Amino acid sequence: MIKPLMACLFSLTLLCSAWTHADDDDDQASKQQNSIEHAPVSLSSDIQKSSAIETIILKPTSHHAEFIAYGKVLNIQSLLALRHRYLLALTDQRSAQAKFKQSEQNTQRQQELYSSGVSSKRSLQEQQAQWQSNQAQVEASQYQNAAIMDEAQLLWGRELADWVTSNDHSKLDAFLSGRKKLIQVTLPTHQHLANTIRSIDIEASGNRTKAHKAEFVSAATHTDLVAQGESYFFQSNDKGLLPGMSISTWIPEQSTATTGVMIPKSALIWYMDQAIVYIKSTDTMFSRRVLNHYTPTVDGYFVPDTLSPNQQLVITGAQMLLSEELRGQIPKEDND
């Protein structure tokens, strides 16, 4: 009875030992495999030059988290119509003022003639009536101008209303010639535009990496019927925008900035569904870095971790380095 039991225990001990060694072998193989996958790539200076490998020194930067809002390129025909109405009313006002000034002088002269007995009282009264009529025309033209200014401010806000009534027509001329476009952006109901924001990024197709800057103009006096949030006017130099286009915008949140580094678009490549870059660690050695966190921006990608300032980043030639790294992983044939 004892012998079979001892034999069973001995067999179990051997089996457990085999499992332990197998696990150790698997762990060792896994470590070796990871070491091989991220093994540094060695290239001589001559090869680097012939392969056109370029690098930059990473610099520290900060980045605000963003939220997406949507907007529309406006047709400014009604704004220009207000401008033309104002200029016409201004011309009428100047004409009325000139007539009033002339009638005022005529009235004074008629008064002197009447006092000297040269002119009749009737002539004086007729001139006074003309003076009063011209004065009423001046007041009417002033009221008309004020009404146009009030309408412009009600529809477009104080800043754009000032453009309508300004003697400097260059601002509106830029929109009339197509050099600039006016955009209205409506924020989500739970978001707000920070007072410090003077520009945002916009793009018609929704591609963040192709976005252009739009400069802040003023708060809008009315909002979008769908979004129901705060609304603002911006101006853009993007020639690809046309009136009526819907656009996506990226707006910095009112939060603490995150520190990290900014990398060019050319530095990032893809391998096995992972975003990777290469760092030059020595004059001849390059190592791969996997980017788990990055944010597309107009200037490239903001990376909050993994990379550090003062590291030497490969911006041209990363694909060649990956090919060289993978080629080095191919097992060499045994000549025996």
Q: Which of 67, 75, 65 is CA-nearest to residue 187?
A: 67
Q: What is the pLDDT of residue 149?
A: 92
pLDDT digits (tens, 9 = 90+) for 209-239: 889 999 999 999 988 767 789 999 999 999 8
Euclidean distance between CA atoms 298 and 211, whole angstroms? 6
How large a percentage of the chain has pLDDT more than 90? 52
| Candidate CATH numbers 2.40.30.170, 3.40.50.970, 3.40.50.300, 3.30.450.20; the one for domain 67-74+180-252 | 2.40.30.170
pLDDT band at 106 (very low <50, low <70, confident <90, very high): confident
Which of the four CATH numbers 3.10.180.10, 2.60.40.350, 2.40.420.20, 1.10.3720.10 does domain 39-63+258-328 have? 2.40.420.20
H or E element that contains 4? helix 2-37
Q: What pLDDT score was predicted for residue 332?
A: 63
Question: What's the pLDDT tens digit per position in 203-213?
Answer: 999 998 889 99
CA proximity to 73, closest of 189, 158, 185, 154: 185
Confidence of residue 333 (pLDDT cuts 50, 70, 90): low
Average of pLDDT values for 92-112?
A: 85
pLDDT tens per residue, range 281-314: 999 999 999 999 998 887 899 999 999 999 999 9
Range 25-46 average pLDDT: 61
34 pLDDT exceeds 80?
A: no
pLDDT at 225: 67
Q: Which amino acid is at 249?
A: T
Residue 147: pLDDT band (50, 70, 90) is very high
Closest C-alpha among 132, 295, 120 to residue 201: 295
The pLDDT score that the predictor gives to residue 321 is 93
Instruction: Write down the domain spans for the chain.
Output: 39-63+258-328, 67-74+180-252, 77-174
pLDDT digits (tens, 9 = 90+) for 256-285: 788 999 999 999 999 999 999 999 999 999
Which run of H or of E encompasses 249? Answer: strand 246-252
pLDDT at 199 over 90: yes
- With a threshold of 0.85, does the pTM exceed it? no
Q: What angle do CA 24, 28, 29 make, to 5 degrees?
A: 115
Query: Which position has the token pair 């060499």?
Result: 332
Which pLDDT value is given to residue 141?
87
pLDDT for 18 equals 45
> Does the pLDDT of residue 32 top 90, yes or no?
no
Mean of pLDDT over the chain: 84
The answer to whether residue 71 scores a pLDDT higher than 60 is yes
The per-residue pLDDT for 334 is 53
pLDDT for res 217: 96
Angstrom distance (rounded) from CA 185 to CA 204: 13
Q: What is the mean pLDDT of residues 42-71?
A: 92
Residue found under tokens 């009404």: 147
Q: Note the pLDDT tens digit of each residue in 91-100.
A: 988 888 888 8
The whole-number average pLDDT for the span 69-86 is 93
Average pLDDT over residues 190-198: 89
Q: What percent of the chain has pLDDT over 70?
A: 86
pLDDT band at residue 126 under the 50/70/90 scheme: confident
Helix (H, G, I), strand (E, B) or coil at 195: coil
Question: pLDDT value at position 133?
Answer: 86
